[in-house]
A and B are shown apart, each in its own frame.
Chain A
Amino acid sequence: MATEAAGEGTGLQFHPMDQFIVRPLFGDGPVQWYTPTNVTLWMFVTLLAIIGLLVVGTRGRAIVPSRIQSIAELSYGMIYKMVEDVTGKDGIKYFPYIMTLFLFIVFSNFLGLLPEAFTTTSHIAVTGVLAMAVFITVTVIGFMKNGAGFLGLFWVTSAPLVLRPVLAVIEIISYFVRPVSHSIRLAGNMMAGHAVMKVFAGFAAIAVISPVSILAVTAMYGLEVLVAFIQAYVFTILTCVYLKDALHPAH
C-alpha cells in the first residue's frame, strides 16, 4: 500500500482505481493481444502457486501428510464434497473443471492481496470469460444429457397453468442473466474491496486522521482476506448449482 504518499493537504497522491490499469511489463507501448502485461505476470504466478501446492506439495504422497500436502488434500476434499452434495453422483464427472475454477480464482484473489500485486480477477474481462465458459458448458451439457427436455427448466410444472407462460419468461431472463451476475459478482467484489483499501490508504497522507485510516486499512484487509475466499467459494458453488440444473432440469 502506498501509505507513504507525502505532502499534507495536497489531496490524494494517487487515484484509487490506478491499481487496475493494465500495463505492459517491458517498455510502455500500446497493449496488443500478445503483449506481456502485469495481468499475464500475475496469472503466471497464480499458475505457479497452484502447481506448487498440488504437484510439488503432494510429491511425497506421505501417509502422514506434511503441511502443504494437508492443505492440498483439504481443498481437494472440500470441493469434491461440494460437487457431490450439490450435483449428486452424476456430477462427479465434472469435478476436475470445478476444481480448476476454484483454485484459479482463490489463488488470484489471495495473490492480489499482496501489496503491489495485480488482482487478475478484478477485471470483468477475466471473470467474464470464466463465467461465459461455465454458461456455455452448462448449456451444452444440459442439451446433450436431456435433449429438448432441458427446456423443461423454464416450464415450472408445479405452478398453476395460467402462471406458467409468465414464469417461463422470468425463468428465461434469469437464465441469460446468469453469466452477467456470475462474473460481475466476483469482479465487483474484488474491485470494490481493493478500491476501498486504496481510498483509506490515501487518507493516511493527512496527518490528523492517519492513525484512523491505517486502522481502517488493516480492518479492511482482514475483511478482504475473508471476501477473497468467500467469493471463490460462491463462484464455485454457483457453478455446481448451474450444473445441477443442467443435469436434472425438472423443477
Chain B
Amino acid sequence: MEGNIAELGQYIGAGLAAIGSGAAAVGVGNVAGNFLSGALRNPSAAAGQTATLFIGIAFAEALGIFAFLVALLLMFAV
C-alpha cells in the first residue's frame, strides 16, 4: 500500500463534493421548469419576470458553486 491516508481523504472528499453540483442542477431545473409552466399559462406576464428567473437561477446555482469550490480547495489548496 503506497500513498498516505490524507491524500485518499482529499480525493474522496472532492468526489463527494461533486454530489453538490448535481443537487444544484436539480435546483436550477426546478426554477426553470416552474418558470416555464407559469409562463405557458400566462405568456403575457412572462417577459417581465425573466430578471426574477435569472436571480432565482443564480441563487440556486451559488450553492452548487460552493460545492465546486470545496472540491477545488480539497484538490489544490489543502
Q: Which residues of A approach B to under 8 Å, CB–CB? A: 82, 85-86, 181, 184-185, 188-189, 192, 230, 233-234, 237-238, 241
Do the beta carbons of A234 and B57 come within 8 Å of each other?
yes
- Residues of chain B within 8 A of A237, CB atoms compared: 51, 54-55, 58
B45 to chain A minimum Cβ distance, whole angstroms, is 14
Interface residues of B in 32-78 (CB under 8 A from A): 51, 54-55, 57-58, 61-62, 65-66, 68-69
Given contacts A234-B57, A234-B58, contact A184 B69 (CB under 8 A): yes
Do the beta carbons of A82 and B68 come within 8 Å of each other?
no
Given contacts A188-B69, A192-B68, contact A181 B62 (CB under 8 A): yes
For A182, the closest partner residue in chain B by CB is B62
A16 to chain B minimum Cβ distance, whole angstroms, is 12
Query: Contact partner of A181 among B54, B55, B57, B65, CB < 8 A?
Result: B65
Q: For this complex, into which size category does the number of interface residues on chain B fall?
A: 10 to 19
Once the chains are docked, how many angstroms separate the CA of A238 from the CA of B61?
13
Do the beta carbons of A241 and B62 come within 8 Å of each other?
no
Query: Contact partner of A184 among B51, B54, B57, B65, CB < 8 A?
Result: B65
Query: Contact partner of A85 among B51, B62, B69, CB < 8 A?
Result: B51
B20 to chain A minimum Cβ distance, whole angstroms, is 12
- Residues of chain B within 8 A of A184, CB atoms compared: 62, 65-66, 69
Given contacts A82-B51, A85-B51, A86-B51, contact A238 B58 (CB under 8 A): yes
Query: Contact partner of B55 among A189, A192, A241, CB < 8 A?
Result: A241
Once the chains are docked, how many angstroms separate the CA of A213 from the CA of B61?
27
For A238, the closest partner residue in chain B by CB is B58
Query: Contact partner of B61 among A85, A86, A185, A233, CB < 8 A?
Result: A185
Do the beta carbons of B65 and A234 come within 8 Å of each other?
no
Do the beta carbons of A181 and B66 come within 8 Å of each other?
yes
Do the beta carbons of B69 and A185 come within 8 Å of each other?
no
- Residues of chain B within 8 A of A233, CB atoms compared: 54
- Residues of chain A within 8 A of B54, CB atoms compared: 230, 233-234, 237
For B63, the closest partner residue in chain A by CB is A181
Once the chains are docked, how many angstroms separate the CA of A86 from the CA of B55?
11
- Give me the 8 closest cross-chain CB pairs, A-B, nearest first: A181-B62, A188-B65, A234-B58, A185-B65, A184-B65, A188-B68, A184-B69, A234-B54
For A186, the closest partner residue in chain B by CB is B65
- Residues of chain B within 8 A of A188, CB atoms compared: 65, 68-69
B21 to chain A minimum Cβ distance, whole angstroms, is 9
Q: List 13 A-B contacts (CB under 8 A).
A: A82-B51, A181-B62, A184-B62, A185-B58, A185-B65, A188-B68, A188-B69, A189-B65, A192-B68, A234-B55, A234-B58, A237-B54, A241-B55
